[in-house]
Structure 1
Amino acid sequence: MRLTVRTNLAMRALMFCAINADRTVRKSEIAEACNSSENHLGVVINMLGQTGFIETARGRNGGIRLKVSPEALSVGQVFRVFEANVPFAECFAGSDNHCPLTASCRLRGQLSKALEAFYGALDDVTLADLVQGNSGLRTLLELEQR
């Protein structure tokens, strides 16, 4: 299994916001710290805003900040949003499924169970679990120290 770049960037952006929770952060600050293009990050930020994970403000003093507390935001929630439209295997692709084994294959059911176990494990991890007490991450992402 491999995560999409969008999911990876979403988690980086959320961790950046959580580390810098006392201020509104700019997309350019996140892009620099997380080694991302601002354009790609813009798409991710838009999705994070639409799903209610962050709030955004435009203009000179604009930027983003968490809308949900880190303790209430599970990693599983974020992954489900960003990975939902990416089929794990061809047989999960709906009308784009052209696998000749679909009618008799039992693998899809087992893969479904495995994916639910994967997401279930991530449901138990919050954004707070990733950032609180993580001095290494704080050193890398905290704006006052940069």
Structure 2
Amino acid sequence: MRLTTRTNLAMRVLMFCAVNPDRTVRKHEIAEACNASENHLAQVINTLAHEDFITTLRGRAGGMKLARPPEQIGVGNVLRAFEARLPFAECFDTETNTCPLRDACLFRDALSEALEAFYGTLDRKTIADLVENNTALEAMLSLPGLQPIPICTAARAAR
């Protein structure tokens, strides 16, 4: 199993925004910090905005921020937004499935079960879980001139 580049970039964008919560961040800042193409990021940012993970502002002072607190953005939901459109295997797409084993194969059932476990694990994680108390990540993603603002652990303790 392998995540698409877009999914990987989506997680980087969300973590970047979470590490810089009091600032509207710009695409070029994320591209530089995350070693990504601005053109590729534009597509990812568009999807993140469409799925209400981030809010965007156009214009000279434009950029993006998380649409809600990082503890309310589930990692499983983000991955589904980017990966669910792609069938995991040919047999998962009933319209294009040409597998001659489809009526007798139990492999699809095993894959379905594994995917449920995969997403179930990710559903227990939020963006806050990935950035909270992660000083190494904060050092890499904090914008220059700003002190990283520690993500509040009070919200996590309340869960």
TM-score (norm 2): 0.89
Q: Which amino acid is 1:128 matched to?
A: A
Q: CA deviation at 1:48?
A: 0.2
Identity %: 61
Counting only pairs closer than 5 Å after superposition, residues 117-136 of structure 1 correspond to structure 2 as 117-136=117-136
Deviations 1:40-90 (A, max 9, x none): 000000000000000000000000000021111110010011001111111
Question: Which stretches in structure 2 are left out of the alignment for 5+ residues?
Answer: 147-159
Q: CA deviation at 1:96?
A: 1.9
Aligned to 1:76: 76
In structure 2, how many angstroms separate the alpha carbons of the residues matched to 1:72 and 1:57?
Answer: 21
Name the SS of the counterpart of 1:121 in structure 2. helix
Q: Which amino acid is 2:99 matched to?
A: C
In structure 2, how many angstroms separate the alpha carbons of the residues matched to 1:22 and 1:9?
Answer: 21
Misfit runs of 4+, over 2 Å: none
Counting only pairs closer than 5 Å after superposition, residues 37-56 of structure 1 correspond to structure 2 as 37-56=37-56
Query: How many residue pairs align between the two structures?
Result: 146
Does 1:36 find its partner at 2:36? yes
Counting only pairs closer than 5 Å after superposition, residues 1-146 of structure 1 correspond to structure 2 as 1-144=1-144
In structure 1, how many angstroms separate the alpha carbons of the residues matched to 2:92 and 2:131?
Answer: 33
In structure 1, how many angstroms separate the alpha carbons of the residues matched to 2:112 and 2:89?
Answer: 10
Question: Which stretches in structure 1 are left out of the alignment for 5+ residues?
Answer: none
Q: CA deviation at 1:97?
A: 1.4
Query: Once superposed, what is the RMSD of the aligned Cα atoms?
Result: 1.1
Contact 1:139 1:145 in 2 (8 A): no
Q: CA deviation at 1:145?
A: 5.6
Q: Which amino acid is 1:98 matched to?
A: T
Deviations 1:106-146 (A, max 9, x none): 11111111101100000001100100100000010000269
In structure 1, how many angstroms separate the alpha carbons of the residues matched to 2:84 and 2:110?
Answer: 18
Bigger helix fraction: 1
In structure 1, how many angstroms separate the alpha carbons of the residues matched to 2:7 and 2:68?
Answer: 18
TM-score (norm 1): 0.97
